[in-house]
Structure 1
């Protein structure tokens, strides 16, 4: 046609949205909260005033102390025609009443099947008169940066709102919880979208919208969704048990930096380094040791220390899994690959075990006896070191069974200070070799310097016994 433009806009998603809209719901909640008396006299209009009736109606329930009903709005979606609805935990937290509002105007009161604050997920159930329109989960692992996605929800109370964008990033950590692995999208997500679905263009739920970054409170194109890979496992557990049953390895971890990787002799930085074994936990069998670097768990590569807790949590309780580690047996040799097997416990039981251990710590510690100082303090790498004795245990509130060489002072602006080392910590190892005296520390650092090493890998213990590796430059 003469004068017509040869260019078309993006392909319409109207047909896809039409099929999905009926499965996306609005979640409204209400909560009674106690309102304390405010000490302000009740307002009254003068007798005979034409405003008296208005004031009486306005203030009849506002007499200072009493209850006020708070309300909130969010989104959700149906995954089972029988009436299973998914939303965010923060949408329904502390609610006295939860109502699911459907696109056709139907309102059904919901019961809570289970919640998981750690992933911000909640499962609700309603009793419909007829089967509901439901959607299914897709594979978030197959998403690529740049793929188109669609969000449907209830932004600012405007139900049935559709927005389209792309996957901006994957694996985002926004410090919202221990298993952060968010999909980032520029599809418009605003207040009220929380708990709503993020669809791929096949109509499958690949994410659950849960958070935004915004200085204004509105969408600026940075929204975050819980990936379906993580959500499905949690939702299945909540539906079956009403609670989560996560796998637990029973270790404490530290991130592997480039410097630590160099000090451990494992090549490029990867994996998670073991910094402690929880007594009585699944790994308390002598197979894993402090300093081991876990690079694979149950056949899945561990790229960073953030990956391991999430992968372990997704693994069934009681399963025996292969754990691939790198272990350095000799300071002069590179770390060697080793495979061990660990039978997973349950994280929720482990949390109770660790809480009990923390509450009783110190009550059964056996004194090891005081060590004679034997020599004066040594200044090295910006630290003042002394052999551990009774006086220093008392000065720095160290446990009776604390070991190593105590750091009595750290010079301001030194390399040690910049690495966050503080007085009261103890040095357990230098270059993965145990030390028990300040003289040994001095000797081993001198040997590292003689060998041309630029850094010293120190294993430090805090006053409460927590271990961490620190790499300090050798001047």
Structure 2
């Protein structure tokens, strides 16, 4: 009995241990499955169905530009190509051969071809792409995923937003994308692109939204979506999708030092793109809102000099004559804090807000003026085609040495100088030396029109303003340099 009991005692723990291990194994498998599903659901989406549903409405765009005779070998010569063929062979080689000193011959010039992407937004054949994809093209071919090809016409282009609208005719059963809203985008959410990088059709790349509302130097009126989706030459004009399969942007530009993708790409928000599309489709051109001001960023020192607790807003450096801003009561030195209740955090926030405002509508601006907030209603005008400010002519140097503690010398501004610079008054900086003025960036030939919010119309005004400057505190100085007004910060 004792041996049997002992055997039973020994076997029972072994059976229980086996059951425990089996239970632990089952739990481990279940945890692994649920964990992998959770990770996939939260961070690693499956794009297969989204790609299958949307790739048919993405198109490949190829363009051909015919060569021109500009800069050819025949410019300045007393004969054309037909006459060239009548010359002896050795003269033909001299004027059109590879070693000719007269440039390229038209018969040697080849058509220029380029490639990009686009997508169909309507069943009647409207296609969106980038302006730089079709710019200067004589022929545009649109190829669909089912290998159908159509010759497209350019309905209209908008270089300011890098947008182009194409139209294909006599096409049936065209697939279209589902247009979403870029306003709903959030930094960190997944997005993916379909396009033809380097001619590899229907390439899919994915990433996340890296930032919103990016302003690029060449595109002031587009608040770009920044992503880390791999975009390369040939992707331009293609759609950027969210995980609902909605188009939220048009892939347009990349930041690169190598010519290829480096982790930073930019897309036109689809809300802005559809506004441009409708105007190009209906009117053939784009009308943008215009305020008529020159603005600059508010840095820490400028914020201190204007009484702001932190840098924010868009500082108005100049109000153009006869502009909507002037008629609405805006002044140089105002800092725009809000536009139609939308906060203006950076100066780059203001142009897109103004640009998308319909021409003729009134906008409510909240500005900081003299240390307090003021609300103004401004009727928005139409952005001129050429808004470049005229450059002020060069003026002479008096040769006088710096005469005050700021380290600069000034002289009265003549009426001709004031008229040429577009100012009502001011003083001309003739020379700078070591001191606060030079440290602030003030240069000879600058015109000072304001110091610490005091108007400077004459040398006497300049002396009064500088005589009461506080010490060891940043003060603003408004100058006009080559026709452009900017604010600088000086610390006496």
Alpha-carbon contact 1:382-1:417 (below 8 Å) kept: yes
Distance 1:175-1:252 versus aligned 2 partners, 3 A rule: closer
Cα distance in 1, alignment partners of residues 262 and 401 from structure 2: 61
- Give 1 or 2 for the bigger CA radius of gyration: 2
Distance 1:397-1:419 versus aligned 2 partners, 3 A rule: farther
Q: How does 1:13-412 map to 2 (within 5 A)?
A: 13-34=47-68, 36-37=72-73, 64-66=105-107, 67-285=109-327, 287-328=329-370, 335-347=371-383, 350-351=384-385, 358=390, 378-388=403-413, 403-411=425-433
Cα distance in 1, alignment partners of residues 420 and 359 from structure 2: 36
Cα distance in 2, alignment partners of residues 274 and 377 from structure 1: 30
Deviation at 1:397, TM superposition (A): 10
Q: State the secondary structure of the residue aligned to 1:33.
A: coil
Note the alpha carbon deviations across 1:40-69, whole angstroms, 9 max, x for none.
Answer: x99xxxxxxxxxxxxxxxxxxxx9432421
Structure-2 residue corresponding to 1:54: none
Deviation at 1:463, TM superposition (A): 5.0
Deviation at 1:442, TM superposition (A): 4.4
Cα distance in 1, alignment partners of residues 478 and 260 from structure 2: 46
Alpha-carbon contact 2:293-2:316 (below 8 Å) kept: yes
Structure-1 residue corresponding to 2:486: 468
Q: How many pairs are equivalent?
A: 424
Note the alpha carbon deviations across 1:397-416, whole angstroms, 9 max, x for none.
Answer: 9669662222110126x443
Distance 1:11-1:291 versus aligned 2 partners, 3 A rule: closer
Q: Which runs of 4+ in 1 moved over 6 A?
A: 1-5
TM-score (norm 2): 0.78
Cα distance in 2, alignment partners of residues 214 and 315 from structure 1: 32
Deviation at 1:183, TM superposition (A): 1.6
Distance 1:280-1:445 versus aligned 2 partners, 3 A rule: closer
Structure with greater proportional helix content: 2
Q: In structure 2, which of residues 441, 450, 453 is the aligned counterpart of residue 432 of structure 1?
A: 453
Cα distance in 2, alignment partners of residues 26 and 282 from structure 1: 43
Task: Give the aligned CA root-mean-square deviation in angstroms.
Answer: 3.2
Q: State the secondary structure of the residue aligned to 2:318.
A: strand
Q: State the secondary structure of the residue aligned to 1:303.
A: coil
Deviation at 1:439, TM superposition (A): 5.4
Alpha-carbon contact 1:379-1:385 (below 8 Å) kept: no
Alpha-carbon contact 1:407-1:425 (below 8 Å) kept: yes
Deviation at 1:340, TM superposition (A): 1.5
Cα distance in 2, alignment partners of residues 218 and 297 from structure 1: 38
Structure-1 residue corresponding to 2:90: none
Note the alpha carbon deviations across 1:108-127, whole angstroms, 9 max, x for none.
Answer: 01011111111111011111
Structure 1 position 456 matched with structure 2 position 475: yes
Q: In structure 1, which of residues 416, 420, 426 is the aligned counterpart of residue 437 of structure 2?
A: 416
Deviation at 1:99, TM superposition (A): 0.6
Cα distance in 1, alignment partners of residues 402 and 181 from structure 2: 60
Distance 1:290-1:134 versus aligned 2 partners, 3 A rule: same
Distance 1:398-1:225 versus aligned 2 partners, 3 A rule: closer
Deviation at 1:13, TM superposition (A): 1.4
For structure 2, the 5+ residue unaligned runs are 1-24, 78-83, 86-103
Cα distance in 1, alignment partners of residues 422 and 220 from structure 2: 33
Alpha-carbon contact 2:225-2:249 (below 8 Å) kept: yes
Alpha-carbon contact 1:457-1:472 (below 8 Å) kept: yes
Cα distance in 2, alignment partners of residues 217 and 400 from structure 1: 42
Distance 1:238-1:105 versus aligned 2 partners, 3 A rule: same
Alpha-carbon contact 1:199-1:206 (below 8 Å) kept: yes
Cα distance in 2, alignment partners of residues 275 and 198 from structure 1: 37
Alpha-carbon contact 1:238-1:244 (below 8 Å) kept: yes
Deviation at 1:233, TM superposition (A): 1.5
Cα distance in 2, alignment partners of residues 220 and 435 from structure 1: 49
For structure 1, the 5+ residue unaligned runs are 43-62, 329-334, 363-372
Deviation at 1:424, TM superposition (A): 1.5
Cα distance in 2, alignment partners of residues 237 and 256 from structure 1: 34
Structure-2 residue corresponding to 1:369: none
Q: State the secondary structure of the residue aligned to 1:122.
A: strand
Alpha-carbon contact 2:421-2:482 (below 8 Å) kept: yes
TM-score (norm 1): 0.81
Deviation at 1:136, TM superposition (A): 2.5
Cα distance in 2, alignment partners of residues 386 and 279 from structure 1: 26
